[in-house]
Amino acid sequence: MDLSVIILSYNTCHLTLDCLRSVFDSETVYSYEAIVVDNASIDDSVASIREQFPQVRLIENFENTGFAKANNQAMAISNGRYVLLLNSDTIVQPDTFQTMIAYMDEHPNVGAAGCKVILPDGSLDKACRRGFPTPSASFYYAFGFSKLFPDKPRFNQYQLGYMDPNKTYPIDCLVGAFMMVRQEAIQQVGGLDDTFFMYGEDIDWCYRIKQAGWGIHYHPATYIVHYKGASSRRKPVKIIYEFHRAMWIFHRKHYLQQYAWSTNMAVYTGIALKFVLSLFKNKLIPRSVVPASTVATQPDPAGTKMEVKS
């Protein structure tokens, strides 16, 4: 088996079905399997997947175990030379698997790779190619320096806005929405750290993969569409809490011993302040639902325009 596609499902029935449809519409000479882990959805996800995609290997959890733990469950039974973490709110293109597996085969030193990730409005999902959130990178990002000086590498260490999104190059970390990882790298560094519940585990995994000597590459020769935040603009408090908790965990795990106590205190204070401001800002956002299925004009990997539907 060449590829194990792992999808985590949690109350995203229609999105998950659309995602699986795009997976099985793939045009590739490589063999692949699809493993779906359902984290105790209360919609029709489990029944619908079983009915419409009986070939899927389905793991049904009876509680929400979080992103990391659920993906680790699937990795434990995967058979592929490569493992692909794929969000349920994404649509892969027919050539995505073929392009990415071929690239990984051609570059045996690459432990993980990701493609271009496009949002429904046609813009780049900037999380698909990032630098590590060092204290300086986080400071410049949080306080808007990256927007003020988009072409300056010093101020764009995190989102890499100064780098051409249509070129291939090594980076620090990918996004868990699409992350193809070599099985040998997984065997060496282990799976996702389930101390993280639903944010930060992808950055932590990339950090460990790079520390083990593997390369991590961004390869925009193909792309996926990511319906990020498609259901609602207002976020549950738990989502906001877990996002900021992930920042704290990552810094404590990887940077605490590298920086002076004053820097660490500044980081923790900044995380706490951002958490409070995010809660306040979230309360001001009216509840509004955005249709998950949209039509958008989006750039293809070559930079031309094309219409993409889901």
- The predicted-structure confidence for 212-241, as pLDDT tens digits, reads as follows 999 999 999 999 999 986 444 557 787 788
CA dihedral over 244, 277, 233, 172, signed as positive or negative: negative
User: Dmax of the chain from CA atoms?
Assistant: 56
Residue 295 pLDDT > 50, yes or no? no
For position 201, what pLDDT does the model report? 93
The DSSP call for residue 286 is P
Taking alpha carbons only, the member of 74, 85, 117, 81 closest to residue 225 is: 117
> Which ranges of the chain would DSSP assign to H, the alpha helix?
13-24, 45-52, 67-77, 96-106, 135-142, 145-148, 183-189, 201-211, 237-254, 261-284
Instruction: Tell me: pLDDT of 297 over 80.
Output: no
Q: Of the given ranges (46-50, 119-123, 173-177, 262-266), which has the lowest mean pLDDT?
A: 262-266
Residue 247's nearest CA partner among 216, 278, 228, 275 is 275
Task: Identify the burial level of 9 via C-beta atoms within 10 angstroms of its C-beta, where 0-12 means exposed, 13-18 middle and 19 or more buried.
Answer: buried
Burial of residue 25 (number of CB atoms within 10 Å: 0-12, 13-18, 19+): exposed
CA distance from start to end of the chain: 28
Share above pLDDT 90 across residues of the chain, in percent, rounded to a whole number: 64
> pTM for the full model?
0.84
d(CA 191, CA 67): 12
pLDDT of residue 150: 85
pLDDT of residue 258: 87
Structural domain spans, the chain: 3-129+165-231, 232-286
Mean pLDDT of the chain: 88
**In the 8-state DSSP scheme, what is residue 233?**
S
pLDDT of residue 176: 94
CATH classification (class only), 3-129+165-231: alpha beta
Task: Name which of 64-73, 75-84, 193-202 the model is least confident about.
Answer: 193-202
Tokens 């590590």 locate to: 132
